[in-house]
Amino acid sequence: MLRDLDNTIIVVEHDKETIESSDYLIDFGPAAGEHGGMVVAMGETAKLFKDKNFQGSLTLDYLQHRRFVSIPKTRREGSGQQITLRGARGNNLKSVDLNLPLGKFVAITGVSGSGKSSLINETLVKILMIDIYKTKDVPLPYDSVDGLKFVDKVIEVDQSPIGRTPRSNPATYTGLFTYIRDLFTQLPESKMRGYAPGRFSFNVTGGRCEACGGDGLKN
């Protein structure tokens, strides 16, 4: 490990396992924004974890299980329908069968590289895309699937840009940003300066940052 080669590693991280693996912990708080900005805990991680009387750190409250996120008491019944996929064999999948109840919030989990994306994104989603939207997707190999008739729409959400450029965002995509730009042009100062809507777009030269071309970062 990097640390064992005499390096100091500093990570800014919310992930529980990462925090628990650290040697030394510096916790910020007590809350967000103007209510934050203070160091509320600092010391050897193991010692901080053992100090059950430690006050003032929400992070430690949760990590020591003095506070916890409660699990919902009632669960959705769902529609009673399901999709059944049998014999999925893409990438490392060992002829997997899947029962997916519909009308519920379903979590797919497992260690990295265990096959979640292969089964869901590369197999099931593609099968649905072909069935519903007649796309030319090619799913990874599987034997059979039932229950497609219960689904009439599929939306795949991932981290790729939602439009043609990396500058697309939910506001530009839905058209909401047009109204925001128009609103900005109505401001007295915009009128005084003669700013048109383009001034407030990060797609055109003018108001946007020319260093990054409106991308928000420099490659």
Ligand X SMILES: Nc1ncnc2c1ncn2[C@@H]1O[C@H](COP(=O)(O)OP(=O)(O)OP(=O)(O)O)[C@@H](O)[C@H]1O
Task: Report the alpha-carbon distance of residue 100 to residue 124 in Å, rounded.
Answer: 10
Q: How many residues interact with Mg ion (rule CB under 5 A)? A: 2
**15's tokens:** 């992930």
Looking at beta carbons only, is 96 or 102 nearer to ligand X? 96
Looking at beta carbons only, is 44 or 156 nearer to ligand X? 156
Q: Which does 201 bind (CB under 5 to 8 A by kind): ligand X, Mg ion, none?
A: none
Task: Report the alpha-carbon distance of residue 190 to residue 125 in Å, rounded.
Answer: 46
Contact status, residue 25 vs residue 43, Cβ threshold 8 Å: yes
Task: Report the alpha-carbon distance of residue 28 to residue 41 in Å, rounded.
Answer: 7
Query: What is the DSSP secondary structure assignment for residue 113, as one 8-state letter?
Result: T
Looking at beta carbons only, is 19 or 96 nearer to Mg ion? 96
Q: Which does 74 bind (CB under 5 to 8 A by kind): ligand X, Mg ion, none?
A: none
Q: Which does 110 bind (CB under 5 to 8 A by kind): ligand X, Mg ion, none?
A: ligand X
Note if the bond before 161 is cis, omega within 30 degrees: no
Looking at beta carbons only, is 113 or 216 nearer to ligand X? 113
Nearest approach in angstroms of CB 112 to Mg ion is 7
Which burial class, exposed, middle or buried, applies to 124 when counting CB atoms under 10 A from its CB (0-12, 13-18, 19+)? buried
Binding status of residue 118 toward ligand X by CB under 6 A: yes
Segment lying near Mg ion (by CB under 5 A), choices 18-26, 66-74, 114-122, 210-218: 114-122
Binding status of residue 55 toward ligand X by CB under 6 A: no
Burial 21-57 (b: 16+ CB within 10 A, else e): ebeebebbbeeeeeeeeeebbeeebeebbeeeebeeb
**115's tokens:** 């096959």
Which burial class, exposed, middle or buried, applies to 90 when counting CB atoms under 10 A from its CB (0-12, 13-18, 19+)? middle
Looking at beta carbons only, is 45 or 121 nearer to Mg ion? 121
Binding status of residue 96 toward ligand X by CB under 6 A: no
**Interface of this chain with ligand X, residues 56 to 95, rule: CB under 6 A:** 91-92
Nearest approach in angstroms of CB 125 to ligand X is 12
Instruction: Figure out which of the listed residues 64, 82, 91, 117 binds Mg ion, where binding follows CB under 5 A.
Output: 117
Looking at beta carbons only, is 112 or 160 nearer to ligand X? 112
Q: Is 6 left (phi over 0), alpha (psi -120 to 50) or beta?
A: left
Q: Which residues of this protein are in contact with ligand X, per CB under 6 A?
A: 91-92, 110, 112-118
Q: Which residues of this protein are in contact with Mg ion, per CB under 5 A?
A: 116-117
